[in-house]
Structure 1
């Protein structure tokens, strides 16, 4: 979709716009209300633009006009924000810039062009230099505004040491761990629209978020460690509880919610940065090795660097490895071209997906196909919808989180037709249904007088006297877990509600561990 010509002069004007000292003063309730209203207008315009992308991809002539109108709305909001006290213009600019980069080509989308690895345009935020020289602190206001347009990404460079330890970390990410780094990048890009606002609200560099996430979980929302850490940002239960994470009353642990976890991680890191004189290395050491230890070492060695031998050697080996690896991942996020690294293009414009038919994430993954990705959409769907297990049946009419690209593929391939039917067949297939048993069955027939016993009423074996029949709903069946069984297979085989089945058998999310020979009560199952 072409970008409105008004975008160029607007951005040029914003570059020259000085940051007024009034913006730093106390904001009145009236000004804050006006700023909040502008933020809501920006969100509405962003949604309007996203909807226009969907229309354009379906060759709807309204898409072009709606997209241009939405961009004009955003430009008007930015213009008003620049004059409104208390308005966070850098946050609105981040949304505006991201949408300016969105491009929809319905024809290439239908043909399934593979954009992975393409480098059709240079990253405007990566100039190829190593940015290792500390920046001058005496930066004029106009240059600070330019830095806002730069998403403050390269500010990170002057906050950390680019030393041989970090370079060794970069080497590891680029060799044995290159695939993990690429996976982390793709996972982050799909989550970025959700995660970035909460992180940037604290003033922390975006690259730091990516570095922590890549090292902690590789961008996988449902990861748990043997030590008890869980989620995208790997919070331990006690620390997570301090920052509002944990069981929410529905059986869901919000440490697995990527937005809540990132919001908590931003609060935690900002708290540590405030205590440790904005020192990223010490703050990262606290995140990994414990805030008590990091704070004590910092106080015992005022003015010392994390890399000073007397400081560095007091941290455990895990933390000594963790700090440079996080910084290295962040560095590569900022400067991929310098290291011959090409990150894949990810079409992650957020969009709601309303299910026309009951489906699971497994089924959606199959029917959506690869769709210009390396590995399909299963990880993205799971990350965006952390409350659903992959095998859970999601009722028709439900709305899940997705991208505009996924929505287009869903409407084309998953609502009806051979791809949709094949996906459903594969997801509901079981090994048991393939086993043929042609052996003769022996049937025992009871001989005796059965007259006078009402049809359908069970009798006792000893007397033949009738006894009250129990309603079918109260007769809970059971299933013996076989080797290789998972809860997802059992749910698919017996058409069960995952949560009800898990609750009846004391199975805990998200792992739902089963043991061969275990007897399951088939509660909440239709077959």
Structure 2
């Protein structure tokens, strides 16, 4: 017989053992590897009969492992650095010393790069190429999507026109794919990978060929082989710019590996600011697009710098780059927008003297688009006809980062010297004008957002900054004149009267020599008024 106090103790022990079977206690059991707690056994506890079944003990849940946060962009960038370094090279050291003296330059570049770099790094990782290539736009353009060089290279990746077309970058009046950084990033990677295959997997030679062209690198290699010399990048005699180009990228690799050593603070990049491609489904006024997305118009242009004008191109690409936070708002607003409101239209009654070229210039559109919209098979239009013309929703000044407005802002920028305006005549070239005004060819082209090899058009206005007073230069008297055709006038008579060529008259006014001039028709001429006294 069990004493009464032993019976009470046994009852309490049984209750305690039963409590140990509840789930919330089991969840609190130690994880594997922890020290096992001591188990106290009561000496008077009576074991349960063997025939009694006990419920199965559920397995303890696995320890919850929190995923590690994804690496930030700068860590990802450094993790993919694989280019062979050569920090002892004098050219690399010169760049490093310059970067150390100019930390503010790199800070500005990083700030400009912020919208584009995450996307570019994603594409580079997908392509499996060294991530140093994400820094190449610093070398090429300083991450300025509107950069334009004296060699006619444009955009973040600085494609020249021919190479851009070779890699599928379309260039027309409405759109320049070289400045479309999304398309140009893929084109740049395709070009670099093609070079990588051509130069037997040598990335330094691939980069040199990206800058100088494959032909120049191959010629340099052939010269070295003929002299029994090495054919790696460091051994080749290449153009001076290219010999600095690759070392500059390698110096940037070192700077971004140890930014603090160069006074550079790399800011964290907000993942919520990631960019997305959003389809527009057709042509769209960019001021309207910015309104639908809730963005400043300048921000929209900086994300979509390939668009030259006030609207997306009629023939595409029909997409916009937008921040993640704006894309859903834009898509919903665009779906609710009536088709007729995407672009504003104006009905124009053709007057005497109107030409398609003149109307396209007046309304800031193209002859091809006027022909397409109005179903015209050629350039002929008749007085009294009506044309439907797409027009900008806002004043052109609002589209401040369109190609025309950027050029105007550059031409109006105050510089040292006297500002003069030259109206291009037949036979003019940058070389001749530079000699006439005693300025540099590159300077003259740069003042007008052009390259020295760009084609000049008759009637085009160029800004010139010289140390010569305007009155001392006879060319400044060249002015635009609108002349109304009189009875009996002919191209030959008008050309003799104003001392201009018949060819110029035809070019300025889109004239067909086989057609007669009509009384009342208005012609545009560019004449030297100092020689035209009494010719009004």
TM surpasses 0.5: no
Shorter-chain TM range is 0.3 to 0.5
Structure scoring higher RCO (CA < 8 A, sep ≥ 6) equals: 1
Give the number of the structure whose alpha-carbon radius of gyration is greater: 2
Give the number of the structure whose residues are more often helix, by fraction: 1
Give the number of the structure whose residues are more often strand, by fraction: 2
TM-score, structure 1 normalization: 0.43
TM-score, structure 2 normalization: 0.43
